[in-house]
């Protein structure tokens, strides 16, 4: 009987814990939704346009080696093109600013995810229907992920400074809604990748590669909403 009551107590505690986790998850989702709603509501006040975009990013072939002299891990990696999507909003006529919030579910390789944040200076031609522009500025790339074995993913480079630069054109043929074509490069200095370096005591061990500069190309297409008066 004592064992039975202990089992019942354990089951009850487990159910309460699961219910608690569900409530916390629900509250987080509601909080994120309200935060996004407030963010979108303020864009017409602080910015002249908003762009919802999708883009393809590409990093050239990488050759990485370990940062320690005791390990001899060397890896050549040819990344595939990966997708990114997000939102850009900004203000200004000829000279202005722009903020980017983007997410890459497969950053350089399948096991790594990334959030991309940019704050750029923008120069554009103030034509009514076609607006060519150039942009550049600093930003941050935040990466995380694990591989199938639970080790840090190859492209989990942590939180890194990133410079982006490029340009494009906004096309507004009729009314406040149009299309936007964008191409830009990203420069990420001192990126260190995670390489497998198994040992007898840690068969899933990893070491970081030597730091190197990443140069990525991004080509994007988006829908632009203009709030300019």
Summarize pLDDT for 176-199 with one digit per residue, the tens. Answer: 899 999 999 999 998 888 877 666
Interstrand relation of 194-196 and 206-208 (parallel, antiparallel or unpaired) = antiparallel
146 plus 212 within the same structural domain? yes
3 plus 15 within the same structural domain? yes
Average pLDDT, the chain: 78
207 plus 122 within the same structural domain? yes
Q: How many structural domains is the chain composed of?
A: 2
56 plus 135 within the same structural domain? yes
154 plus 179 within the same structural domain? yes
41 plus 57 within the same structural domain? no
83 plus 135 within the same structural domain? yes
Lowest mean pLDDT among 68-77, 78-87, 148-157: 68-77
84 plus 98 within the same structural domain? yes
36 plus 82 within the same structural domain? no
Cβ(67)–Cβ(210) below 8 Å: yes
Cβ(116)–Cβ(103) below 8 Å: yes
CA angle 115, 134, 157 (to 5 degrees): 25
**Domain assignment of residue 32, given as a range:** 1-46
Share of the chain above pLDDT 70, in %: 68
Q: Is the pLDDT of residue 40 over 60?
A: no
* CATH number of residue 126's parent domain: 2.40.160.20
Distance, CA of 25 to chain centre: 22
Q: Is the pLDDT of residue 43 over 50?
A: no
Cα separation, 52 vs 137, whole angstroms: 19
CA angle 215, 112, 224 (to 5 degrees): 65
pLDDT in tens, 87-120: 999 888 889 999 999 999 999 888 999 999 999 9
86 plus 192 within the same structural domain? yes
Cα separation, 26 vs 154, whole angstroms: 32
Q: Phi/psi zone of residue 12: left (φ > 0), alpha (ψ -120 to 50 degrees), beta?
A: alpha
């Amino acid at each position: 009987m004592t064992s039975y009551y202990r089992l019942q107590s354990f089951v009850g505690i487990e159910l309460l814990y699961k219910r608690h986790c569900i409530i916390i998850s629900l509250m987080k989702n509601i909080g994120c939704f309200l935060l996004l709603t407030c963010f979108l509501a303020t864009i017409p006040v602080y910015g002249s346009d908003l762009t919802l975009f999708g883009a393809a990013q590409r990093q050239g072939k990488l050759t990485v080696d370990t940062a320690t002299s005791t390990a001899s891990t060397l890896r050549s990696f040819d990344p595939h093109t990966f997708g990114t999507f997000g939102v850009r909003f900004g203000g200004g006529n000829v000279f202005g600013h722009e903020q980017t919030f983007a997410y890459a579910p497969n950053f350089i390789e399948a096991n790594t995810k990334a959030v991309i944040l940019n704050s750029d200076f923008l120069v554009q031609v103030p034509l009514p229907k076609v607006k060519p522009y150039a942009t550049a500025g600093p930003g941050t790339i935040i990466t995380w992920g694990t591989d199938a074995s639970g080790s840090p993913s190859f492209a989990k480079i942590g939180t890194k400074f990133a410079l982006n630069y490029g340009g494009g054109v906004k096309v507004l043929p009729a009314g406040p809604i149009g299309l936007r074509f964008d191409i830009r490069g990203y420069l990420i200095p001192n990126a260190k990748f995670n390489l497998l370096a198994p040992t007898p005591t840690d068969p899933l061990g990893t070491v970081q590669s030597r730091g190197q500069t990443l140069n990525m190309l991004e080509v994007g297409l988006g829908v632009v909403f203009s709030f300019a008066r």
